[in-house]
Structure formats: structure tokens, C-alpha cells
């Protein structure tokens, strides 16, 4: 009888330790598909590209790969074309993020107005979000149609007397990068709009009531209640958007192809790899883009964690 009890107890402890172990391993089991995928399709390529960047003669090359240390970096970074691409990328990204923020917030505030009925809001919300449903290649087609020298934009500007002649928006060396930036602004602000709409709905009405009781005007309500309440969203969004804009490839590729002085880092890298087959140089450039994005990515991850806590 006593023996049996001991056996039961031993069985129970066994069960507990088995349960505990299972409980410890379970989260890893749930995460395993994600981790496997990320390991094979993200970590492996990044490590490979990292290694490539220190070698010459990689991939399509009859010669043996040769370790060259930091030579690729020195070559790539000192190139005049690289500096131009870097400058364009920064201009493209900063202008896009600022404009996305301003337009997204303005539209969200308009749609949040108390003076509008629910149906009117719903209708305008759909119109304002429209650019978001189009993929980059369709946005490229759309704006190549509009900005064509014989297109409707030139027609309207000419009729209004705003331009002296028909402009080659996407192939003029002085205009192309601005035109591409404008297209990116048009296509990207709805992401902010949607997030701000969600954020504005989360601000308690009491705050505004209290502000009004204290005699704040509309601007002060916006400055001291709306903006601070949206701040965590704004920071995460701006960082993520900045990183995504630095990545942006398709839109630039399909509008100007990086020509006419509108080369950005991603098109420059793509050309190095798949037009000139200079894979060592391309790998180095890819690492540079990764470094820039990781730098801002760290701030993004931190802003996300703060929001989680």
C-alpha cells in the first residue's frame, strides 16, 4: 500500500517534470515554422551577402573567390555614382516621410471632424485611401500616363500658364528625382492616414472636454492633446516608412529606371548585380543599405517595444 503510494507519487512528479518540460518547449514549437523560415530565407542570405562583400570574383565568375578585406567597401563608397545615389535616396526618403506625415495627418483630421455625417466620412475615407490599393507597378503606369510629355498634367499646367513648355517629367535630369518623390508621396500617405484614424479614435473625449473647459482654442487642443497622444504612432510610422522608402525599388525602377539623375541606392545595387554582374560590388552596396536600415531599424524596434509596455 505504502509502496503503491510512493509509486503514484513518483509517477506524479514524473508527470509534473514532463509537463513542465513540455510547457517550456511549447512556445518554441509554436514558433518553429517562423524561425525555420527566417533562418533559411533571411539569416542565410544576409550572412552570404556579408561574406561576399569581402571577396572578389563571387558568383558568375570563372576565377576563384579571393579575399580582399575592406577593398570592396573602399571602392564602392568612394565612387561618385554611389554618392549621387546616396544623396538621392536621402532626399527621396526624407521628403517622402515628411509629406506622408503632413498629408496623412491632415486627411485624418478632416475625416475625424464632428461636422461630417457618417456616410460622408465613409465615402471620403475610401477616396483618400485609394492610392494604397495600387501596387507599385500600377502606380508607375498610372503616373507615366499622367506625366507623359503629351499627358494631361502638362496640358493642365500649360493651359494655366504654370509651365512655359511641355516638360519631360520623368526623363529630365533636373525633374526626374522630384517627380519620382512626388509619386512616392502620392502612393504612400494612406498608410499614415489609416493609422492616424485608428489613433484618433483612441483619444478619450474627456481630454478635449477638459481642454475646452480650460479655455484652449482649436490649435492648442491639437498641439497639446492630439499631437502628444499620437506621438508613439508617429514615431513608429515615420521610422518604418523611412526604412521602407530607402528600400523602395519597384516604383523607381518602373518610372525612371534610375536614369536621368534619379538613381537611388536600390536601383544602383540592382544594376550592379543584374546588369553588370559585379556581384562583389553589389553585395557591398547591399550591406551598406542593410547597415543604414538596421541603424534606423534599431530605433524602430525600440519604439515598438515602448508601445508594447
Partner 1 sequence: MIGTRRQILVRKTLLWFALLIGACFAGLPVLWMVSSSFKSNLEIFAYPPALIDHSFSFDAYLAVLSDPGQLRFFFNSYLVAIMVTICTVITSIMAGYALSRYDFRFKKALSLVIIGVQSVPPITLMIPYFGLIVWLKIYNTYTALVLTYMVFTLSYAIIMMTGYFNTLPRDLDEAVMIDGGGSFVTLWRILVPISLPGIVAVGVYTFMLAWNEFLFALTLTRTNDMRTVPIGIHLLMGQHSFEWNQMLALSVLGSLPVLILFLLFQRYFIAGMSAGSIKG
Site for partner 1 in 195-214 (CB under 8 A): 195, 197-199, 201-203, 212
Whether the CB-CB separation of 111 and 196 falls below 8 Å is answered with no
Return the ∠ at Cα 298 (arms to 236 and 87), rounded to 5°. 85
Select from 72-80, 92-100, 171-179, 271-279 the region that touches partner 1 (CB under 8 A): 271-279
Distance between CA atoms of residues 88 and 243, nearest Å:
15
Among 6, 15, 155, 173, contact with partner 1 (rule: CB under 8 A): 155
Q: How far is the CB of 210 from partner 1 (least distance, A)?
A: 14
CB-wise, 95 or 203, nearer to partner 1? 203
Among 71, 112, 254, 259, contact with partner 1 (rule: CB under 8 A): 254
User: Which 275-304 residues touch partner 1, going by CB under 8 A?
Assistant: 279, 282-283, 286-287, 289-290, 293-294, 296-297, 300-301, 304
Using CB under 8 A, count the residues that bind partner 1.
100
Q: How far is the CB of 186 from partner 1 (least distance, A)?
A: 7
User: Which 134-153 residues touch partner 1, going by CB under 8 A?
Assistant: 134-138, 141-143, 145-146, 148, 150-152
How far, in Å, are 3, 52, 124, 245, 292 from residue 282 at the CA level? 72, 9, 44, 19, 15
User: Which 27-66 residues touch partner 1, going by CB under 8 A?
Assistant: 27-28, 30-31, 33-35, 37-38, 40-42, 44-46, 48-49, 52, 59
User: Which 85-114 residues touch partner 1, going by CB under 8 A?
Assistant: 106-107, 110, 113
Q: How far is the CB of 250 from partner 1 (least distance, A)?
A: 4
Q: How far is the CB of 276 from partner 1 (least distance, A)?
A: 13
User: Which 159-178 residues touch partner 1, going by CB under 8 A?
Assistant: none
Q: Which residues contact 307 (CB under 8 A, 6 or more apart)?
A: 232, 236
Whether the CB-CB separation of 169 and 140 falls below 8 Å is answered with no
Among 61, 73, 225, 232, contact with partner 1 (rule: CB under 8 A): 232
Q: Is the dihedral of CA 250, 237, 124, 158 positive or negative?
A: negative
CB-wise, 77 or 116, nearer to partner 1? 116
Distance between CA atoms of residues 24 and 132, nearest Å:
42
Closest CA to 243 of 56, 62, 97, 42: 97
Among 72, 88, 184, 236, contact with partner 1 (rule: CB under 8 A): 236
3-class DSSP state of 67: strand
Distance between CA atoms of residues 56 and 61, nearest Å:
9
Backbone φ, ψ for residue 56 (5° rounding): -105, 165
Among 101, 229, 259, 261, contact with partner 1 (rule: CB under 8 A): 229
Q: Which residues pair with 66 in a beta bridge?
A: 56
Amino acid at each position: 500500500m505504502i509502496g503503491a503510494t510512493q509509486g503514484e507519487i513518483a509517477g506524479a512528479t514524473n508527470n509534473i517534470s514532463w509537463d513542465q518540460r513540455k510547457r517550456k518547449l511549447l512556445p518554441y514549437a509554436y514558433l518553429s515554422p517562423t524561425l525555420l523560415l527566417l533562418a533559411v530565407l533571411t539569416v542565410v542570405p544576409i550572412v552570404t551577402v556579408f561574406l561576399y562583400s569581402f571577396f572578389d570574383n563571387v558568383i558568375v565568375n570563372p576565377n576563384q573567390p579571393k579575399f580582399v578585406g575592406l577593398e570592396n567597401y573602399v571602392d564602392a563608397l568612394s565612387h561618385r555614382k554611389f554618392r549621387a545615389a546616396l544623396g538621392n535616396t536621402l532626399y527621396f526618403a526624407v521628403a517622402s516621410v515628411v509629406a506622408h506625415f503632413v498629408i496623412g495627418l491632415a486627411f485624418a483630421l478632416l475625416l475625424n471632424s464632428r461636422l461630417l455625417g457618417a456616410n460622408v466620412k465613409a465615402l471620403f475615407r475610401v477616396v483618400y485611401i485609394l492610392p494604397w490599393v495600387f501596387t507599385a507597378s500600377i502606380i508607375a503606369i498610372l503616373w507615366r500616363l499622367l506625366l507623359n510629355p503629351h499627358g494631361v498634367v502638362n496640358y493642365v499646367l500649360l493651359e494655366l500658364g504654370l509651365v512655359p513648355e511641355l516638360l519631360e517629367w520623368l526623363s529630365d535630369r533636373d525633374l526626374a528625382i522630384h517627380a519620382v518623390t512626388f509619386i512616392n508621396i502620392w502612393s504612400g500617405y494612406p498608410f499614415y492616414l489609416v493609422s492616424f484614424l485608428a489613433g484618433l479614435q483612441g483619444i478619450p473625449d474627456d481630454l478635449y472636454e477638459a481642454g475646452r473647459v480650460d479655455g484652449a482654442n482649436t490649435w492648442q487642443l491639437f498641439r497639446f492633446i492630439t499631437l502628444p497622444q499620437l506621438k508613439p504612432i508617429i514615431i513608429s510610422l515615420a521610422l518604418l516608412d523611412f526604412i521602407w522608402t530607402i528600400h523602395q525599388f519597384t516604383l523607381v525602377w518602373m518610372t525612371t529606371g534610375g536614369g536621368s539623375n534619379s538613381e537611388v541606392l536600390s536601383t544602383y545595387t540592382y544594376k550592379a548585380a543584374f546588369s553588370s554582374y559585379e556581384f562583389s560590388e553589389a553585395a557591398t552596396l547591399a550591406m551598406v543599405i542593410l547597415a543604414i536600415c538596421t541603424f534606423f531599424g534599431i530605433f524602430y524596434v525600440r519604439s515598438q517595444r515602448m508601445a508594447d509596455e
